[in-house]
Structure 1
Amino acid sequence: MIRLRIALAKGRLYQPSVERFTRAGAAPAGDAGRRLLIPSSDPAIEFLVVKPGDVPVYVESGAADLGVTGTDVLRESGADVLEPLELGFGACRLVVASPAAAPYPELPGGITARVATKYPRLAQSHFAIAGRPVDIIQVNGSVEVAPLLNLSHWIVDLVDTGNTLRANGLVERETILCCGAVLVANRASQKLKLDAYLGLMARLALGEPWSRA
């Protein structure tokens, strides 16, 4: 009988998530491919494979009991979920970046900066706290090219090594958030399925947490 349904994000966190659950004795049984629901080697656990931005939605609603997501996605979503465990992979940073020769943090003539990002909520909050008015432009891919095409003055994006920024003539200006993979849990499920929940926590609680510094 399925006791726990766990949402996994497609993309960069998927394979590390699979490896972590495999070490915990719940290996996904087969490749995701076109399948959204995947059984595991533990008959009490099944996986739901969805787009990264949907993981917090499924967990908050109770369609999934648990999920693996990045802190960037979680904070952007504003979902009301528990965060019981940092999983120790997927470390990266959400940063403000701009062309190396461009003025920062102010533009000449009192111009309001245009900021391109996939993270409008986090970007708007960051600049509001700093007391710097900006116009947020939401884009869904290739954020780094926005300043080159004069779509924006700056960008807010996720970086790992920073190589893509440098390749496009951009430099990091500020770090908004240090991110990593976290396990999230539905509040009601955590109470109703406490034994299964605690058992899985014990099996997953391995590895070093990513740094918030």
Structure 2
Amino acid sequence: MRIAVPNKGRLHEPTIELLERAGLHIENGADRKLYAETVDPDVTVLFARAADIPEYVHDGAAEMGITGLDQVRESGRELAELLDLAFGRCRLVLAAPEDGDIASPDDLAGKTVATEFPRITRTYFDDRGIKPSIVEVTGATELTPHVEMADAIVDITSTGTTLAVNRLAIIDEVLSSSVRLFARPDVVDDGKVQQVTTALSSVLAASGKRYLMMNVASEDLDAVRDVIPGMGGPTVMDIAGTDDVAVHVVVDEREVFEVITDLKSVGASDILVTEIERLVE
């Protein structure tokens, strides 16, 4: 089983970290290598440009791929989306000079739009019955309206800062993107594909969760149950030689501070909070 992953750029490190956390530790993956083995002898990682990964998967060089939704949509390849990996979030937006006369997509009929994403842009306008001229560029898209190459642009933004610096106003959102796990449709039911998907999903499920363990007197157990906001009911175990019980529960990280205060107020003691590496739901 081969997984194509970004070989560099802002998506590379988070992708490798996610694989490591999922237990797919990379071996012999030195810089500039095209592929690397993992601790699973049946799983190999291929390193490729993020934009090329949809083609790698579609053509059979890899069974699975990790890349942005924008890259898959721009490639035009039909891949099965298995997971939103919740990083690399960005938007493709339609923007035009803030002091110009373009205020809506309709104003671009017969005008020129510059973009690095011609397929996505063309689909966006076709869906609205608008016919601009689309010019493909390979960089510095935000400059094109100021050098009279285009009336508007479709470009990636995370915060909108670069657009604002270049005096461009967002007119509409074209696509909301993040990094996803994809596979060829014909291998979705493969056991190894499902195993990898479950491993990555377990890391995502554990994100932002904490595991709480505590001792509770038996007579206080109902009060403790009432203040625990965990995933389902807590796990309760007898403590040998005492009338106390041990209570274990998973809670959201953002609730830990208040939960501990509430637990202590109803008699819980020896409260231990730990991180969760993986959570298979």
- Structure 1 residue corresponding to 2:57, chosen from 56, 59, 76: 59
Which residue number in structure 1 is paired with residue 76 of structure 2?
78
C-alpha distance in 2 between matches for 1:164 and 1:15:
23
- How much has 1:43 moved relative to structure 2? 2.7
Which residue number in structure 2 is paired with residue 88 of structure 1?
86
- Indicate how the Cα distance of structure 1 residues 86 and 32 shifts in structure 2: closer, same or farther if over 3 A, else same: farther
The question of whether the paired residues in 2 share the 8 Å contact of 1:62 and 1:189 is answered with: no
The question of whether the paired residues in 2 share the 8 Å contact of 1:32 and 1:49 is answered with: no
C-alpha distance in 1 between matches for 2:12 and 2:40:
18
- Indicate how the Cα distance of structure 1 residues 169 and 32 shifts in structure 2: closer, same or farther if over 3 A, else same: farther
CA deviations over 1:81-100 (Å, ceiling 9, x no partner): 11111111111111001111
C-alpha distance in 1 between matches for 2:184 and 2:119:
22
The question of whether the paired residues in 2 share the 8 Å contact of 1:98 and 1:153 is answered with: yes
The question of whether the paired residues in 1 share the 8 Å contact of 2:81 and 2:181 is answered with: yes
Give SS of 2:27's match.
Answer: coil
- Indicate how the Cα distance of structure 1 residues 32 and 184 shifts in structure 2: closer, same or farther if over 3 A, else same: farther
- Structure 2 residue corresponding to 1:195, chosen from 187, 191, 195: 191
CA deviations over 1:153-184 (Å, ceiling 9, x no partner): 10001110111111111111100111111101
C-alpha distance in 1 between matches for 2:128 and 2:30:
43
C-alpha distance in 2 between matches for 1:134 and 1:147:
14
Give SS of 1:7's match.
Answer: strand
State the AA in 2 paired with 1:202. Answer: T
- How much has 1:32 moved relative to structure 2? 5.1
Q: Identity across aligned pairs (percent)?
A: 34
The question of whether the paired residues in 2 share the 8 Å contact of 1:21 and 1:27 is answered with: yes
- Structure 2 residue corresponding to 1:8, chosen from 5, 10, 14: 5
Give the count of matched residue pairs.
201
Which residue number in structure 1 is paired with residue 181 of structure 2?
183
Give SS of 2:155's match.
Answer: strand
Q: Does 1:101 align with 2:102?
A: no
- Indicate how the Cα distance of structure 1 residues 69 and 32 shifts in structure 2: closer, same or farther if over 3 A, else same: farther
Which residue number in structure 1 is paired with residue 32 of structure 2?
34
C-alpha distance in 1 between matches for 2:83 and 2:188:
13
**How much is the aligned-residue C-alpha RMSD, in angstroms?**
1.8
CA deviations over 1:46-69 (Å, ceiling 9, x no partner): 111111121011101111010001
- How much has 1:190 moved relative to structure 2? 3.1
Which residue number in structure 2 is paired with residue 207 of structure 1?
204
Structure 1 unaligned spans of 5+: 209-213
C-alpha distance in 2 between matches for 1:182 and 1:123:
20
The question of whether the paired residues in 2 share the 8 Å contact of 1:86 and 1:183 is answered with: yes
- How much has 1:17 moved relative to structure 2? 0.8
State the AA in 1 paired with 2:200. Answer: L
Give SS of 1:141's match.
Answer: coil
C-alpha distance in 2 between matches for 1:30 and 1:182:
25
- Rg larger in structure: 2
